[in-house]
Structure 1
């Protein structure tokens, strides 16, 4: 079973407005608005479930939004065991216009405190025995006044707890919390940064293939066993102890790339659990990311969508 943790879940609104422009009033008919449960770990779990993988999603959800969130996840086929908090769940809005331009409005999230942090750790520990693989995905919400260190160390605590229980952990994160866990004494089994996130982690730009390959090796040198360096529509590097290899992404007509990285994580995890083969899991991850990019909604691609774009075996 794949256990996903989403520290900063969201209510995701996708709005299609043909002539969207700032400074205007836009009236949106119901058929042009879609609302779903979102957040990186939720998205990854949804794609993994589409591939037949048993999943369980956890994370913080506002108490006032819990009933809606639970019903939505049930409709989307994602089993869950969320932690209710007093703070409202954030709303993230994706606006697509008729020319293919995307505008994202991403709320940071309502501040949470350390009591909320402890409750998620306790929930995570209780769920770990059911898990064969863990994916911790996304950023953290702001910390409330009094939480002096914020949640920078929380990701490391989750990862260490999983490692202590013999679980492999995939981390798809960014910022200070991501840097802390990668540079910790017990780093994750697998990480999936994009080029910007890797540059931030390593404190230097990644310009050109040589710099990208060097960056993959630098991340492996931290003790991470599997590095998936996403290069967007170009593809991704897979780095392991056996070497570093670049996988080109399938060529598609892009509609919206939002959620492609999440789809990649979900498919990678599902296929790794099914086969134990990291190379095969990477192929499926790339296909899922590409399939997602052809669709309006984030991480709603299914098995047929993904299989149609599987890169050929080398």
Structure 2
């Protein structure tokens, strides 16, 4: 089983306004309410490529019910921990450029933390746990490390999609996959890149530091995969860019979903790129037929250095 963990989910309230005027009355031209959170996005894409997962995390109040009901409607298993405070609402205001206003998230009690951790007792050695996204205020700085220790205790694999100190702290535990973009990778090692060749030693260094597989997304230049002593690069698919929210989560879903089936990192990389690109070219998360349309266009080539 694949488990996704979203510690600070949200309702993403997407609002379109033709021309925003600060200090004046503005009327929406269109709006959407969607379940938000990186792990939740992963579960939703996994379902669309016919891979089962179980969503874990904290939800509370009427906003939390909206999220759990939505996943149930999509036939996605979820075992959320119910918390006393309301799940946050994030506003994505689209008027020319996008402006985001993100909620803080609920305060989490000791009993609620214990409830979430207790769910890790169901893990088995063949399971994969995907840890991703921000933490609500009040959780310990090393909370991801605490969860990783529970995953290791069960003999399961884990993926971590975060940045900075939390990502570095996870590397000695040998995550199955990490996915920094080129800017995040440069920040991690306090450097800068002026070419693809500059990135290669640092992707290899993340393997040396403990990661089993590393995907570095390059924006409009495709993506790199570092695995063992091999480096692979994909081509760039061409469609109008519509949506950056969830593209990275979709890439992780495609990679891990396919890897769980085949144990083939190159094939998994191809699926990851197709899923990530399909979301980037869609108004919301990618649909299955669009992912299938893009798969034949993805080319993966080994880089020799």
Separation in 2, partners of 1:251, 1:108: 36
Aligned to 2:157: 168
1:136-174 per-residue CA deviation (whole Å, 9 max, x = no partner) reads 11111221xxxxxx5221111222321232222111112
Contact map agreement 1:154 1:177 (CA 8 A) in 2: no
Contact map agreement 1:151 1:177 (CA 8 A) in 2: no
Aligned to 2:81: 83
Superposition deviation, residue 25 in structure 1: 2.4
Separation in 2, partners of 1:254, 1:179: 31
1:265-286 per-residue CA deviation (whole Å, 9 max, x = no partner) reads 1111111122221111111111
Say how many residue pairs are matched.
299
Equivalent residues in 2 for 1:193-212 (5 A)?
193-212=180-199
SS at match of 2:201: helix
Equivalent residues in 2 for 1:98-137 (5 A)?
99=96, 101-123=97-119, 125-129=120-124, 132-137=127-132
Considering Cα pairs closer than 8 Å and 6+ residues apart, tell me whether 1 or 2 has the greater RCO: 1
Equivalent residues in 2 for 1:142-221 (5 A)?
142-143=137-138, 150-182=139-171, 184=172, 186-221=173-208
Aligned to 2:133: 138
Structure 1 unaligned runs (5+)?
Answer: 144-149
Aligned to 1:147: none
1:286-309 per-residue CA deviation (whole Å, 9 max, x = no partner) reads 111111112222x2x122111212
Report whether the alignment pairs 1:61 with 2:50. no
Contact map agreement 1:139 1:174 (CA 8 A) in 2: no
SS at match of 2:54: strand
Separation in 2, partners of 1:226, 1:217: 10
| Range moving further from structure 2, 74-83 or 63-72 | 63-72
Contact map agreement 1:256 1:293 (CA 8 A) in 2: yes
1:78–1:22 CA distance, 2 compared to 1 (3 A): farther
SS at match of 2:124: helix
Aligned to 2:292: 307
RMSD (Å), alpha carbons: 2.1
Contact map agreement 2:68 2:78 (CA 8 A) in 1: yes
Separation in 1, partners of 2:300, 2:104: 40
